[in-house]
Amino acid sequence: MTSPVRVRFAPSPTGLLHIGNARTALFNYLFAKHHGGTFVLRIEDTDLDRSTDESIHHILNDLRWMGIPWDEGPDCEGPNGPYRQSQRLPLYREHADRLLQQDRVYKCFCSPERLEALRKQQLSKGKMPRYDGRCRSLSREEISTLESAGQRPVLRFRVEGGPILFEDLVHGKMSFAPEGIGDFIIFRSDGMVAYNFACVIDDHFMHISHVIRGEDHLSNTPRQVMVYRTLGWEPPAFAHHPLILGPDHSPLSKRHGATAVSQYREEGFLPGALLNYLVLLGWTSPSGEEVLSMERVAEDFSLKGLSKSAPIHSRKKLEWLNSLYIRKEEGEALLKRLLPYVEKAGLSTEHIDRPTLVRMAEILKENLVVLSLVGEYLGIFFDEKFSFEEAARAIVMTPVHRETLRSILPIIENTPEVTEDVWPSLHHYMEEKTGKKGKNLLQPFRAAVTGKTRGPELAKTLPLIGKERIIKRLKLALEIS
């Protein structure tokens, strides 16, 4: 690769950052990092009715949280800014006027009503909707008359010539017939630039070498290639990766569950796990490994490694990866991640010393696939949240298990202290006295002491509950009727 690699991620700030778009940002970032290039963040906010500063704020925060930094962008201006399209209108207008003077662009006064009727007519005949060129040959006098009457035109690009050819780095050689495209709008009647024109101007003046984006943009590329060539510019290299599909093989949407990065963040997915998962959707490590650091991925990443097949979103696989990343967290770092979810459950931890909180976190992490699940286990350690879940209640009410608990109670009462070191001998003694082993012993004991049928390892959990509370909960279980 002879020229410097410069890539861009260009979201429209009309909502939350979708994980599909985050994946596109990740691919661009990894490609830039692999080649020692530059990653540009550009905000495409030309849809003034739907674009908001709040959305921009969320997008930037989500990218930072995920660990996808940019080298140039709206909050770290570089030599090719500004990095918001709404602030670059004079540049677009200058080049639109240039094409207008060259007669490569013309003014179109067709009303939205006429265009909609034309679209329906073409569809009814089984044709692909496209503009019919009605305003292509308007005279200067006709244009002047229409403008004097207050009609505001759009600017349309004249589509002419033979097939539009380009090489896609994922899909290979591409060819589009011009008659299937039709003259397209580059400036709207409200004076705002259209997407296919603005991104060409920006990518050229921001010196973008590679455009890596979803294949939903593949149909836009021939239009953009025509604009490049008409302006006498060399197009960048294009790579269109397949989009993420839901389990039913339809485009991933809200009906499949969470789709926004912020939703996964709030639920308690770790950024490293989400990055790891997203990169595996359509890319395979040469080593075949699945648990990968981004540093490792950046070393191996290539566009040739992107699959042509659409990946299927798997919540189960994401949770599996996330559970691995949670288990890798330790000490204060782990506690810092969990505390917001503890506080969200309405619990104050100020009365508990830090080392004890860290021990609780270390114990609970083995049972978490997302951090927010910690709320389900807080009752084990916090009396104000303790209760018997339905299945645990049914267990302790079973006559045979009740008898087991009655036998266990005096054993605990006569044990000086319940510690992790004492547990093996205590467990053995309970087996001797009750005549029960394995599930028949531990299932009712766990249900009575923790209020749950499953959870963290008892040997580590019991010392933090403490002898007094173990006794109290055994008695409480025996009182259930």
Please pick, among 120, 127, 254, 336, the residue that the annotation labels catalytic: 254
Residues 6+ apart with CB under 8 A from 452: 377, 379, 380, 389, 392, 446
Name which of 320, 299, 472, 457 is nearest 383 in CA terms.
Answer: 472
CA angle, residues 180, 181, 182, in degrees to nearest 5: 110
Contact 10, 200 (CB under 8 A): no
Phi, psi of 194 (to 5 degrees): -95, 160
> Contact, 326 vs 364, CB < 8 A?
no
Neighbours of 194 (CB within 10 A): 20
Query: 3-class SS at 290?
Result: coil
- Cα separation, 25 vs 461, whole angstroms: 42
Tell me how far CA of residue 260 lies from CA of 17, 164, 246, 340, 395, in angstroms.
5, 35, 14, 20, 40
* Backbone φ, ψ for residue 155 (5° rounding): -105, 125
439's tokens: 């599930």
CA-based angle 394:398:402, to the nearest 5?
115
From 40, 75, 44, 34, select the one nearest 283 (Cα to Cα): 34
254 is catalytic: yes
Cβ-based neighbour number of residue 3 at 10 Å: 12
Neighbours of 77 (CB within 10 A): 11
Q: Are 307 and 281 in contact (CB under 8 A)?
A: no
Residues identified as active-site: 254
